[in-house]
Chains A and B, each alone.
Chain A
Amino acid sequence: MRIRVLLMTDEQGTPVKTDLELPDGATAHDAAKKLVAARGAGFGRMLWGDDGQWRVIVFVNRKDAAPETPLRDGDELAFLPPITGGAG
Chain B
Amino acid sequence: MGKLLVADLTSRKITQQETDPKLCAEFIGGSGLGAALLYDFYFGRAGHGGGRAGAGAGCGAAGVPDALAPESPLWFLTGPLCGTIAPTSGRHAVVARSPLTGIWGESDSGGGFGPALKKAGFDGVCIVGQAERPVYLWIHDGECEIRDAAKVWGRDTYETDAALRAETAQKAVVAAIGPAGERCVPMAAIMHDGRDARAAGRCGLGAVMGAKRLKAIVAAGSARVPVADPDALRGAVREVAKTMPDKNPGLGKNGTAGSIAGIEHVGDLPIRNWRDGSWEEGAASLSGQRMTDTILTDRYHCPTCPLGCGRIVRIGAGKYAGVDGAGPEYESLGTLGAMCLVDDLEAVTYASELCNRLGLDTISAGAAIAFAMEAYEKGLLSKKDAGCELLWGDAAAVIDMVGQIGRAEGLGKLLGQGVRRAAAELGGLAPEWAVHVKGLEAPAHDPRAYNSVGVGYATSNRGACHLQGFTHIPERGVIMSDFGYTAVADRFGVAGKGKFTALMQDAMCVFDAAKTCKFALTAGVQPSTVASWLRCVTGLPWDYDTMMLAGERMFNLKRLFNVRLGISRKDDVLPPRLQLHKRGSGGAAENLPPLEAMLPEYYQHRGWSEEGIPLRERLEQLGLAKWAGDLPGQPAK
For the complex, give the distance between the alpha carbons of A18 and B412 in Å: 45
A88 → chain B closest CB, angstroms? 4
Please state if A82 and B477 are interface contacts (CB–CB under 8 Å).
yes
User: A38: CB under 8 A from chain B?
Assistant: no
Q: Which of A12, A55, A62 has the most CB of B within 10 A?
A: A62
A59 near B587 with CB under 8 A, answer yes
Determine the distance from Cα of A36 to Cα of B453 in the docked complex, in whole angstroms: 34
Q: Nearest CB to that of A55 among chain B residues? A: B477
Contact of B331 among A57, A81, A83, A85 (CB under 8 A): A85
Interface 1/0 per residue, B470-496 and A, CB below 8 Å:
001100111000000000101110000
Scan B508-525; emit 1 where CB is below 8 A from any A CB, else 0. 000000000001001000
State whether the Cβ of A22 lies closer than 8 Å to any Cβ in chain B.
no
Q: Answer whether residue B538 sits at the interface, using C-beta atoms and an 8 A cutoff.
A: no
Cβ contacts under 8 Å, B586 to chain A = 62
Cβ proximity bits A60-88 to B, threshold 8 Å, 1 near / 0 not:
00111000000000000010111111111
Chain A positions 32-67 with a Cβ under 8 Å from a chain B Cβ? 55-57, 59, 62-64
Does the CB pair B250–A10 fall under 8 Å? Answer: yes
Stretch at the interface among B214-222, B254-262, B392-400: B254-262
- Interface size in chain A (residues, C-beta < 8 A): 24
Contacts of A78 in B (CB 8 A): 262, 265
B263 touches A64 (CB 8 A): no
Question: Knowing A6-B265, A81-B250 touch, does A14 contact B287 (C-beta < 8 A)?
Answer: yes
Query: Which of B309, B467, B476 is within 8 Å of A83, CB to CB?
Result: B476
A3 CB contacts on chain B under 8 angstroms = none
**Which chain A residues border B173 with CB–CB below 8 Å?**
none
Give chain B residues whose Cβ lies under 8 Å from the Cβ of A81: 250, 259, 262, 477
Q: Interface size for chain B: under 10, 10 to 19, 20 to 34, or 35 or more residues?
A: 35 or more
B202, A85: Cβ atoms under 8 Å? no
Query: Given the complex of chains A and B, what is the CA–CA distance between A13 and B288 in angstroms?
Result: 9
Residue of A nearest to B519 (CB): A84
Chain B residues, Cβ within 8 Å of A63: 587
Verify A84–B522 contact, CB threshold 8 A: yes
B262/A83 in contact, CB under 8 A: yes
Q: A86–B519 contact, CB under 8 A?
A: yes
Given A15-B261, A84-B250, A84-B330, verify A57-B488 contact (CB < 8 Å): yes
Q: For chain B residues 179-215, which have a beta carbon within 8 Å of chain A?
A: 198-202
- Distance of A64 Cα from B267 Cα, bound (Å): 11
Q: Least Cβ distance of A79 to chain B in Å?
A: 9
A6 to B284 Cα, complex, angstroms? 12
Please, what's the 1-or-0 string for B45-60, where 1 marks a CB less than 8 Å from any CB in chain A?
0000000000000000
Contacts of B230-267 to chain A: CB distance below 8 A? 248-251, 253-254, 256, 258-259, 261-263, 265-267
Which chain A residues border B519 with CB–CB below 8 Å?
Answer: 84, 86
Contacts of B436 in A (CB 8 A): none
Separation in Å of the A50 CB from the closest CB of chain B? Answer: 10
Q: A84-B309, A84-B522, A88-B200 are in contact. Are A64 and B491 (CB under 8 A)?
A: yes
Q: Are B199 and A13 touching (Cβ within 8 A)?
A: no
Q: Determine the chain B residues whose CB is within 8 A of the CB of A15 once the complex forms.
A: 261-262, 284, 287, 289
- Residues in A lying within 8 Å of B, measured CB to CB: 6, 8, 10, 12-15, 55-57, 59, 62-64, 78, 80-88
The chain B residues found within 8 Å of chain A, CB to CB, are: 107-110, 198-202, 248-251, 253-254, 256, 258-259, 261-263, 265-268, 278, 284, 287, 289-290, 292-293, 309, 329-332, 334, 362-363, 443-445, 466-467, 472-473, 476-478, 488, 490-492, 519, 522, 586-587, 589
A-B contact list, 15 entries, CB within 8 Å: A12-B289, A14-B287, A14-B290, A57-B488, A63-B587, A64-B491, A82-B248, A82-B473, A82-B478, A84-B522, A85-B330, A86-B329, A87-B202, A87-B330, A87-B467
